[in-house]
Structure 1
Amino acid sequence: MTTSEALTVLGRSNSSNVQKVMWLLDEIGQPCVRVDVGGQFGGNKAADYLAKNPNGVVPTLIHGDAVVWESNTILRYLAHYFRADSLYPTDPVGRSWVDRWMDWQLSSLGPANRTLFQRIVRTPPEQRRQDAIEEARAQNAELFGLLDGYLERSEYLGGASFSIADIAVGPLAYRWLTLPVERPNLHHVKRWYDLLCKRDAFQKHVIEIGLS
C-alpha cells in the first residue's frame, strides 16, 4: 500500500469516467488536483501520458508512487485504500453485487450510452443521422429497462445502501435522462436517480458540468 500522499486526477471534467472519480473523491472527503487532459485539451496521446496510461484515455490517477488507470478500477482502488467499506462492502456477496453492476456498466451500458451521446452531443447538427441516433436510443432504452427491473426490488444498485456501483452508472443515467430523446417511463430508474440528485457531489461533478 502506498503512503498517504497527494492525489492527482488526469482528465477533463466533462468525461463521464473522470466524473465518477471526482464524485467518489468528494464523497469520501479526499482533496485532489485535477488536470485537464483529453478531448479539447489533448495530451492523452503524448509519450509522457502514454507511459502512465498505455490506452491513452482518461482518467489516470496518480497517488504517490501508484499510477492507476481504468475508471472503475480507480473507484475500487480509492474505496479500498481509504477504507470506504460502506461504499464497497467487504462481504463477498455484497461486494459481488457492486462489482457485477460496475462490470455491466463497462461492458454493456457504457458503450451504448457513449454512442448515443456522441451521435447527438459530439456530432454537428448537419452531420447527425436520425436512424443512427434511433438505433442507439433503442439500445439505451433496453438497457435502462433492464436496470429498472432490478431497481424495482433494490434501493440502490449494490443493495440497500449507496455504493460505488451507483457512482459508476450515475453519470450515464444523467446523460440518458437529459439527452433530447424519447424515453420509456421507467419509474424505478427515476426513483433511484432522484436519490442521486440529492447528493451534493453528484450535483457538483455531474449535473453542473452538463452535456458537452
Structure 2
Amino acid sequence: MLRIWGRTNSINVQKVLWCCHELSLDYERIDAGSDFGVTDTPEYMAMNPNRLVPTIDDGDIRLWESNVIVRYLAQKHNYGRLCPADIATRFDAERWMDWQATVFWPALRPLFIALIRAPPRQRDATVISKGESLSLSALRILDARLSSRTFLAGDVFCMGDIPAAATVHRWYALDIHHPDLPNVLRWYDLIRARPPFQRIVMTPLS
C-alpha cells in the first residue's frame, strides 16, 4: 500500500492527499513534520534528506517534492486524464505546477506565515504588505491565463490545477482584501465543487 508521511495541515501534503482522493487510491498516512517530529530521525532522513514533508513510499519507489509526487501518481494511475497524454497539454500543465512552486507559493507563503502561524505581536506589517502585493501580482497572471480556458491546461481538470488551486484556497481564506479576479473565482468555484478538494483542502488554516 502507498505510504505517505506528512501532517494534514501542510499545503504540500494536501496536494498529494487530494490527488490520491481524485484517483480513489488507498493509502496509509503517517503523521510527520512540525509538532509530530519524525522528519529528523535517521530513518526519515534516509528517505528524504531535506527533512520535509511529504514523502511517499510506493513499493520500490520513494519520492519527495509534492508536485513531483502528484505527477507520478497521476501518470501511474490515470494517464490520459489527470496526467494528460497529449505532450503539449501535459507540459503546459507541468509548467503551471512549477510556477506554483517557484512564483506563486513563494509570494504567498510569507503572508500565510505572518497571518496564520506567527503570534499577533510578532506580525510584521512590512512582510504582510509585501506578501499581499506579490501574491496579488501572481494571481493576476493566473487570472489572465484562465480568461481563455476552463482549467489551467485546457477544458479538463488535470494535475496542473492541483498545486495552484491549493494555493488559491489559502489566499481566499486569509483575512485580507481580495480584489475582483473573475476568471480565478470562476475556476476556484469549479475546483471547490469537487468532493476530494472539499475533504482535503477546505479545512481551517493552521
Establish whether TM, by shorter chain, passes 0.5.
yes
Do the aligned residues in 1 keep the contact of 2:110 with 2:127 (CA within 8 Å)?
no
Please report how far the alpha carbon of residue 84 of structure 1 lies from its aligned counterpart in structure 2 after TM superposition: 3.5
TM-score (normalizing by structure 2): 0.97
Could you give the per-residue CA deviations for residues 116-138 of structure 1, whole angstroms, max 9, x where no partner exists? 11111110001101221011111
The residue aligned with 2:77 is 82
Q: Distance in 1 between matches of 2:75 and 2:183?
A: 29
Amino acid paired to 1:169: A
1:30-49 matched pairs, under 5 angstroms: 30-49=25-44
Q: How many Å separate the matches in 2 of 1:93 and 1:84?
A: 14
Which residue of structure 2 aligns with residue 123 of structure 1?
Answer: 118
Moved beyond 2 Å, runs of 4+: none
CA distance in 1 between counterparts of 2:192 and 2:131 reads: 25
Contact 1:28 1:84 in 2 (8 A): no
Per-residue deviation at 1:183? 2.0
Aligned position for 1:3: none
One-letter amino acid of the counterpart of residue 41, structure 1: F
Cα distance in 2 for residues equivalent to 1:21 and 1:138? 28
Alpha-carbon distance between aligned partners in 2 of 1:59 and 1:133, rounded to the nearest angstrom: 27
Residues 1-212 of structure 1: pairs in structure 2 closer than 5 A: 6-207=1-202, 209-212=203-206
Percent identity between the two aligned chains = 40
Cα displacement (A) at 1:114: 1.4
TM-score, normalised to structure 1, is 0.95
The count of residues paired between Structure 1 and Structure 2 equals: 206
Q: CA RMSD in A?
A: 0.9
Query: Which 5+ residue runs of structure 2 have no aligned equivalent?
Result: none
